[in-house]
Chain A
């Protein structure tokens, strides 16, 4: 590694992380009595073999990318936001609440904006608790995740439950608000471009503006930030709020692009997996895109493994978890804020 040029070092580490992850997954499969090579091949095929598989992977990657950009922003600013899950739920909640009131396609930006605002607001709570009350954002964002989850649970069982009252879920938002689908009958929707756009904007802001620079200084050295006249409080607010807004947007996009409604198990842990995504991307907004595709492929591949080989859901989950752990083990050490 020592000979690699500086610019290639971070990507090389990420590639090493993915390789280690695959090895870990293979080892788990082997222990469970499956031939790992063909099984991994099945996973790869389920995730990338053909337009349908690719579309599914991208659909899964979209919320991961948006949350991942958010987490990467927070980490860059030295804020350990592990609350993307809750911020995403609040975003989805706001999107559904707004989407049920507004039925016109023109309202789509408004719906997405309210999702981002809700996610950002949820994260701002943690930021405020940190600067005003000294509560570690690790604790507060995690707690806010639980609150968001139970809030959604209560709402879909109660006030926001569909009129038919059959299932714990809300009504669907108006069809006019649904994001356009590409390549039907796949589920690929326009949210993919929102994710790419968000990553590009985050990249430009983080590395090419004065306020982005201030955020990174705070993340790298809070003392140096203070010396340079940067307010740690306000910058932490900004980092967490922007981070939450990205996650909230992910929730909004997921509602308009995939689920069309809100229900209890809305997120299969996208917000948590986004932490691994951000670490694999080495906290770089553009790196988040391939990293999110990796993790989206992992989700789709694990389902494919079940479908094709009959690997039980539990074992597929174990393989997935081991892969995530390997990624974090190789790439996470230096990148998580202290």
Chain B
């Protein structure tokens, strides 16, 4: 059966309601819906109507903790899923789950029970539930992005975005006139904290006296709180701000525009959100996640914590053209090389 989206009804409400009643009536009267789906639960509404049962495509699902339209963390996960669909030829599905362990567990179980090969929980908070569910479904591999735990069929993928944040810190320390910068996080979770403190480490590597205030607003979506926090930091002298607060970052950029200082994006190249103020963004490359999934599907990946960084081309730093001097660029290249070689531990100093 197919799910051709019906043309948005332009007719009256009444018709819509009537058609609804008719449809309900049809089901209630014991009739099966036309094209009754196979009995396997959940597969009933597969968007791909012509999937032959014999030639089975691998199936990959993504559990997002927030809306995939956030232009940040969740969009990143969805981008990876799209790559998995296109380049690995997988059947993919995505579900947004509430911010609660019970719902995360249910999401894992639902996909695993449907026989998905890989289920990605997008965020370190999925780790405990992945471990719990993995025991019951040995034939499914569970991937946790930014996770810190592993099991035979649980793979954690950590994007060390902090390596790029370190570079951002170095830029901020070089260009800052006040010697102060701010870092704003969403909820205080390990992945986010590591990222922001790497920024501080980078800044102090250039200027040991650089003051970097780190604060968490307790939400990934509260733009008002993010703006307030940014304004507070700016008022204390910060002239560079980096964030890791996902959709709430819109508030940070608002404040940055109001006070006309410079800022960094996160996760994707966000310079279009405040073109005059954002001079660079640490980025994660969704290709890196797709690559891990490919290895899982081809049985090349064992259950472990996989760290991806600058050297895997999984983390990058998108710099705005014309802001960086030749001299600074040289310095950054040297730092990048050192990080890739493992000579610098960007996460060395934590709070």
Could you list which residues of chain A lie within 8 angstroms of chain B, going by C-beta atoms?
19, 22-27, 30-42, 44-46, 49-50, 52-53, 56, 59, 166-169, 184-187, 254, 258-259, 261, 263-266, 268, 303-310, 312-314
- B93 & A34 in contact (Cβ 8 Å cutoff): no
| 5 residue pairs bridging A and B, Cβ less than 8 Å apart | A34-B3, A36-B20, A41-B45, A49-B39, A261-B101
Task: Specify the chain B residue showing the minimal Cβ separation from A42.
Answer: B45
Say which one of B22-30, B259-267, B315-323 lies at the interface with A: B22-30
- B67 & A314 in contact (Cβ 8 Å cutoff): yes
Which residues does chain B contribute within 8 Å of A308, judged by CB atoms? Answer: 42-47, 93
Which residues does chain B contribute within 8 Å of A187, judged by CB atoms? Answer: 105-106, 109
Complex: A185 Cα to B111 Cα, angstroms: 13
Residues B53-109 near A (CB distance < 8 A): 61, 67, 93-103, 105-107, 109
- B98 & A307 in contact (Cβ 8 Å cutoff): no
Q: Do A304 and B24 form a contact, CB below 8 Å, given A35-B6, A258-B102?
A: no
- A23 & B24 in contact (Cβ 8 Å cutoff): yes
Complex: A40 Cα to B25 Cα, angstroms: 12
Which residues does chain B contribute within 8 Å of A268, judged by CB atoms? Answer: 98, 100, 103
Residues B124-146 near A (CB distance < 8 A): 124-125, 133, 136-137
Complex: A169 Cα to B4 Cα, angstroms: 42
Cross-chain contact of B106 among A44, A56, A265 (Cβ < 8 A): A56
- A31 & B61 in contact (Cβ 8 Å cutoff): no
Does B190 interact with chain A (Cβ within 8 Å)? yes
Which residues does chain A contribute within 8 Å of B152, judged by CB atoms? Answer: none
Task: Specify the chain B residue showing the minimal Cβ separation from A35.
Answer: B6
- A35 & B96 in contact (Cβ 8 Å cutoff): no
Q: Nearest 4 A-B pairs (CB), nearest first?
A: A185-B136, A26-B20, A49-B41, A313-B96
Query: Which range holds the interface residue count of chain B?
Result: 35 or more
Does B1 interact with chain A (Cβ within 8 Å)? yes
Task: Specify the chain A residue showing the minimal Cβ separation from B36.
Answer: A41
Q: Do A30 and B19 form a contact, CB below 8 Å, given A41-B37, A259-B102, A310-B93?
A: yes
A149 CB, min distance to chain B CBs, angstroms: 13
Does B275 interact with chain A (Cβ within 8 Å)? no
Complex: A213 Cα to B107 Cα, angstroms: 44
- 5 new A-B contacts at CB < 8 Å, known A303-B97, A308-B44: A26-B23, A27-B19, A33-B7, A265-B100, A309-B3
Cross-chain contact of A303 among B21, B43, B107 (Cβ < 8 A): B107
Q: Do A169 and B44 form a contact, CB below 8 Å, given A307-B95, A307-B111, A312-B96?
A: no
Which residues does chain A contribute within 8 Å of B8, judged by CB atoms? Answer: 31-33
B27 CB, min distance to chain A CBs, angstroms: 6
A329 CB, min distance to chain B CBs, angstroms: 13
- A39 & B106 in contact (Cβ 8 Å cutoff): no
- A41 & B44 in contact (Cβ 8 Å cutoff): yes
Which residues does chain A contribute within 8 Å of B5, judged by CB atoms? Answer: 33-35
Task: Specify the chain A residue showing the minimal Cβ separation from B111.
Answer: A307
Which residues does chain B contribute within 8 Å of A313, judged by CB atoms? Answer: 67, 95-96
- B19 & A49 in contact (Cβ 8 Å cutoff): no
Q: Do A307 and B61 form a contact, CB below 8 Å, given A26-B20, A41-B27?
A: yes
B85 CB, min distance to chain A CBs, angstroms: 12
- A263 & B16 in contact (Cβ 8 Å cutoff): no
- B27 & A37 in contact (Cβ 8 Å cutoff): yes
- A184 & B136 in contact (Cβ 8 Å cutoff): yes
Task: Specify the chain A residue showing the minimal Cβ separation from B105.
Answer: A187
B9 CB, min distance to chain A CBs, angstroms: 6
Cross-chain contact of A23 among B9, B21, B47 (Cβ < 8 A): B21
Q: Do A35 and B4 form a contact, CB below 8 Å, given A41-B27, A185-B109, A314-B67?
A: yes
